[in-house]
Amino acid sequence: WVLMVTAQTPTNIAVIKYWGKRDENLILAINDSISVTLDPAHLCTTTTVAVSPAFNQDRMWLNGKEISLSGGRYQNCLREIRARANDVEDKKKGVKIAKKDWENLHVHVASYNNFPTAAGLASSAAGFACLVYSLAKLMNVQEDNGRLSAIARQGSGSACRSLYGGFVKWVMGKEENGSDSIAVPLVDEKHWDELVIIIAVVCSRQKETSSTSGMRETVETSALIEHRAKEVVPKRIIQMEEAIQKRDFATFTHLTCADSNQFHAVCLDTSPPIFYMNDTSHRIISCVEKWNRSEGTPQVAYTFDAGPNAVLIARNRTYAALLLQRLLFHFPPNSETDLNSYVIGDKSL
């Protein structure tokens, strides 16, 4: 017999960024962060997990290719979920798994991303969130999403925020064992459903410096990071939560753009410096900044993660359509800019 569960988890985009760890193994951040979870129809991971007495080891395939599960992050997630497994019964198949049997059973995992892996589109976020969620369903784990978020966090920090829709805060927590470092939903996806998210895929190649090693180097060498984590982000988190509650797009845009720019500034302040954005990314920033200024009030926010792709958040559908028109005019896909395509990562459509 084989028992299977399939789940789908969207990715999330941070508007106040997580960058830097206080504990590398447990994945504990040096500051709180806030993100928006995309609509699962657009950028998501689909994961099927299966268990069978015929499996003699845990195995995983990512986009059809087998990957090694020996990394600590996979092992940590598997161990934490197994430790919370419960009795499972499938009457139709005549299968009964007792809580204690899970230790001796192996799982097979098949995961697909419908967007470029490791290109700065937060694929690890959707990936680990989906892995933890589907394993939890398979093993009848009874923990709520908050507790599951603390497990997904041990796969990839940003993954903890993908357990909820809408705007989500990852509270860094104080405990050494990370028990209070969890995701908390701020508002659900209906709260601010006029927002439209467009992703300009500037380059879908794998990034040169992974977030994990990039943030380690920043913490080790940047003098600015401490100022950011201790002085700047705590204030921004309070202001951002208020802007989200009030649907105050001007403040939201100001904070989102400023935080993206400061994140890339600490990357530049790292030794050797880390460049995630390229010329096209910079031109997109200038274009949006100029447009927002000419409108008198901001209509589009931009944010860039650990890669050159632009995540653009428009105030509403009207501005999303105008934005797309502008982008297509200034940055036609496959022109001399190495921009390939646009993805509507809308959270509301």
Closest contact distance (angstroms) between CB of 122 and ligand DP6 is 5
Closest contact distance (angstroms) between CB of 213 and ligand DP6 is 8
C-beta of 24 vs 295, nearer to ligand DP6: 24
Closest contact distance (angstroms) between CB of 157 and ligand DP6 is 3
C-beta of 116 vs 157, nearer to ligand DP6: 157
The residues facing 34 across adjacent strands are: 16, 169
C-beta of 101 vs 269, nearer to ligand DP6: 269
Q: Which two tokens stand for residue 107?
A: 């799982």
**What's the CA gap between 179 and 173, in Å, rounded?**
8
Closest contact distance (angstroms) between CB of 336 and ligand DP6 is 27
The residues facing 14 across adjacent strands are: 35
C-beta of 18 vs 249, nearer to ligand DP6: 18
Cβ atoms within 10 A of the Cβ of 286, count? 10
Q: Which residues bind ligand DP6 (CB under 6 A)?
A: 14, 17-19, 27, 33, 122, 124, 156-158, 211-212, 305-306
C-beta of 153 vs 315, nearer to ligand DP6: 153
DSSP summary character for residue 38: P
Residue 293, classified by CB atoms within 10 Å of its CB into exposed (0-12), middle (13-18) or buried (19+), is: exposed
Q: Which helix (H) or strand (E) holds 315?
A: none
Closest contact distance (angstroms) between CB of 129 and ligand DP6 is 11
Q: Which residue has the tokens 């797309």?
A: 324
C-beta of 304 vs 319, nearer to ligand DP6: 304
Q: What is the DSSP string of 279-308?
A: HHHHHHHHHHHHHHHHHSS--EEEE--SSS
Q: In 3D, which of 72, 53, 50 has the Cα closest to residue 61?
A: 50
Q: Which two tokens stand for residue 248?
A: 């105050």
Q: Which two tokens stand for residue 27?
A: 């994945």
Closest contact distance (angstroms) between CB of 253 and ligand DP6 is 18
C-beta of 97 vs 119, nearer to ligand DP6: 119
Closest contact distance (angstroms) between CB of 282 and ligand DP6 is 17
Closest contact distance (angstroms) between CB of 146 and ligand DP6 is 18
**What's the CA gap between 13 and 339, in Å, rounded?**
20
**What's the CA gap between 259 and 257, in Å, rounded?**
5
Alpha helices for the chain (secondary structure H): 72-83, 123-138, 145-152, 211-221, 224-227, 233-246, 249-268, 279-295, 317-330
C-beta of 31 vs 134, nearer to ligand DP6: 31
